[in-house]
Chains A and B, each alone.
Chain A
Amino acid sequence: MRGPIFILRDPLKCTGCRLCEVACSLKKERAVWPEASRIRVYELFPGVDVPHTCAQCRDYPCVKACQFGALRVDDVTGAVLVDAEKCTSCGSCVRACPGKVMRLHPGTGKAMVCDLCGGDPECVRACREAGFNALTVIPYDRVSYNVYSVVPDEVHRRLYETLFGG
């Protein structure tokens, strides 16, 4: 898909299998490494699974927060890209992220976030091939104008109510 994209998540379809995490870390780290996966599924209660990754907020608070010019937005996909050379591991971007998606890499300590795999995300492929389709790539212009990431606890709370009642 050309142009800015968005990974649409449907927590109701997520089984908590975390193939997305395995696929992501295999691609990015050549290892199975859950803490280094750019996408993560939180399971704060058995069976209530919350897929969590970058939403590419329109105002990019992480990019704005970086004083070292280490973050920029990809012209084509709209992903946040990290320049590891410039990153000082100060954590400003981590604090600026509304959904606490942005992190420092557990090995290198550099800022780490989903780069959308250049437009063909590995996590989405794994989810689709497993037949779950909890993750789908859509053009960003189909996303409502005010998308921002949300902390997993918040999604978890609502999902729990949906599944089991309040």
Chain B
Amino acid sequence: MGALYGYAGRLLEVDLSREKVSVVELEPEVLEKYVGGRGLAAYLLWRELGSRWREVDPLGPENILLFLTGPLTGYYPGVKLAVSGKSPQSNGIVGSVLSSEVALELRAAGYDGLVVRGRASSPVYIYVEGERVEIRDAGRLWGLGGRETFESLMRELWGELKRKHMAREGLTKEPSFVYIGPAGENRVRTAAVMAKLAHAAGYGGYGAVMGSKNLKAVAVKGFGPMPPAKRPEAVKLLIREAWRRLTARTTFRQWGTSAGGYYFGAVTSSEPVRNWQEEWHASRSFGQQYFEAHWVKRYWGDYGCPTTCMKISRVRGAVTDGPDYELQAYLGANLGVFEPKSCIYLASRVDDLGLCGIQTGNVMGFAAELYQRGILTKEDLGFELRWGDAEAFARLAEMIARREGLGDVLAEGVYRAALRISREKGVDALRYAVHSKGVGIGAHGVRSGKDFLPDFSYAASTQGGDHTSAPDATTGFGGELWSAFADSAVICFFNMIDDLAFDMLYAVTGFDIDKERWTREHGRRILTIQRVALLEGGPDVRWRPGVDDDLPPRFYEPLPSGPFKGRAPSREEVARKRAEYFRFMGWDENGIPLDETLEELDLGFLKPAVARLRGTGREH
């Protein structure tokens, strides 16, 4: 390996138990193999925790929380940060990505990422300013909602930066932060890592991991450039070309995903409606023009991104982003709410509590269906939980975030809540839990066959119900192999233009990785580690290889309404495609990696775990 381009080549490590800060060098060979973000997270987590993965409590001090950038952070349009660790939802490894300038600031401070270990004895936040790293008291921030946390941190740290620098070097830019709301503090498994007001890394439940470490926020201000690129002139041309092509996407610029609220319900019939009892609605009230009426007329984007997919809405004094399609669906149609104003209000409440809108909308829809069926009652909840009652759902979200009453059960996420309710009520509540591997399924159904994901996708995904990372074909570059690239180079997958992204990776790092090699080597390598971690699971939950690689029962119920009424995937087809996909990945029929695959991908260190899994496979 020659000189390292596109990386700082080091990670910042903060041990909250020992109150110790250190810097760890990254080996160039590791970077070439795992690239960054999600890929690097999978490798680092397994390297350290792999031998005792089953025993590691995701919410215990032994879990490691990672905030990683990638070589394209700051270069490719859009700025993303990959959050990972052992997931308290799937008990595997989820690469959870959010938009945050923290990624840019970490690189400007000379790090490729931040590793957080241990648990602070009282609430803290981590402050990085150039070379200085401090663990600071966050007592006065603990308990605050998202907006207050943001405003308080900004006031304090912006003031501090001005005091320190304005009289001499001049005014610096503002710092950036990621934080948790009350939900993360209370270790709610559907809590997100938040940025700004509504930017969230929700899949995986890493807000709860932050909370378990008593870590309220990470605030960063760096002063340096992005790590030098190998071919700066080519990078400059590629940035311009990416801007040009992204600027040409007029509709997405105008609406982002916010045009989905009506489209996915009426046209593709793949939107969660009343906890997926249906996937069709034709409520024109849910069209983008009705949402648009609430937007503050300002198009908003993140650093370096000409795509203004974000919208700021203001309802009842609350300011929120969008909501985007996912939250329109999960805090709208899925709760029987078909009125934009109520949906925006719910989204702003859920964001402010630091809850993942997808996961929380999923578990609230589950609760409402149990109420509809008389399994949960007014006595259980303390109030009526009727479809469409936004006030009731706002109240429930609050109970979940604060773990009050039944909220404490639902705070465990839809799968764990279903297990407990089944036990306590003597019913099979798992029938109504729409999840894969403990991760609530994104707002894109597979029954109509008209959305972008094929029927088997959620059954075979290494990130469970994560709609941004599920196989979209049984072979080739696509689906989770594709998102594993976006999440490892750490770019926005909505901005990913395949040829430009791989060219940019080459121009920045000099790594000779094209789409074909990524598919064959890097992507499979990353997903194979994720797959093994997912199957190892534990300590509270483990997935049976093959058996649990299935769709939730609801998805086998024929669609009851709409233009695709009667459609449902066939179990045989799902099993056939799943097997085909596993074969393509180099895994056996139960999705356990073959020894030859481990050899081929240089993953010999997975062998003991794989041998253990084969044992488990026989038990079932």
20 of the cross-chain contacts (CB-CB < 8 Å) are: A17-B303, A18-B304, A33-B108, A33-B224, A33-B226, A34-B104, A35-B173, A42-B173, A44-B158, A44-B174, A47-B312, A47-B319, A47-B321, A94-B167, A94-B168, A100-B171, A109-B169, A129-B247, A152-B171, A163-B298
Q: Which label, helix, strand, loop or mixed, suits the secondary structure of the B interface? A: loop
From B26-34, B236-244, B263-271, B473-481, give the one contacting chain A: B236-244
Q: Known contacts being A33-B224, A34-B108, is A103 close to B171, with CB within 8 Å?
A: yes
A109 to B298, CA, bound (A): 36
CB-based A-B contact count at 8 angstroms? 127
- Of B150, B158, B166, B300, which one neighbours A15 at CB under 8 angstroms? B300
Contact A17 B301 (CB under 8 A): yes
Contact B306 A106 (CB under 8 A): no
Contact A104 B169 (CB under 8 A): yes
Interface size class of A (residues with CB under 8 A): 35 or more
Say if the beta carbon of B299 comes within 8 Å of chain A.
yes
A120 to B615, CA, bound (A): 69
Residues on the A chain within 8 Å of B158, using CB = 44
Contact B304 A17 (CB under 8 A): yes
Say if the beta carbon of B305 comes within 8 Å of chain A.
yes
Residues on the A chain within 8 Å of B319, using CB = 46-47, 164
Q: Known contacts being A34-B108, A46-B196, is A17 close to B171, with CB within 8 Å?
A: no
Question: Restricting to B293-309, which residues have a CB under 8 Å from any CB of A?
Answer: 296, 298-306, 308
CB distance from A158 to the nearest CB of B (A): 15
A33 to B226, CA, bound (A): 6
Say if the beta carbon of A58 comes within 8 Å of chain B.
no
- Other 7 A-B pairs with CB < 8 A, given A18-B303, A33-B224, A104-B168: A15-B299, A31-B228, A43-B174, A44-B174, A91-B170, A129-B243, A130-B247
Contact indicator per residue, chain A 81-96, by CB within 8 Å of chain B (1) or not (0): 0000000000100110
Say if the beta carbon of A24 comes within 8 Å of chain B.
no
CB distance from B149 to the nearest CB of A (A): 12
Q: Count how many chain B residues have C-beta atoms less than 8 Å from C-beta atoms of the other chain.
A: 50
Say if the beta carbon of B561 comes within 8 Å of chain A.
no
Say if the beta carbon of B154 comes within 8 Å of chain A.
yes
Contact indicator per residue, chain A 45-72, by CB within 8 Å of chain B (1) or not (0): 1110100000000000000000000000
A35 to B221, CA, bound (A): 10
CB distance from B284 to the nearest CB of A (A): 28
A18 to B228, CA, bound (A): 20
Contact indicator per residue, chain A 22-41, by CB within 8 Å of chain B (1) or not (0): 10011001111111100010
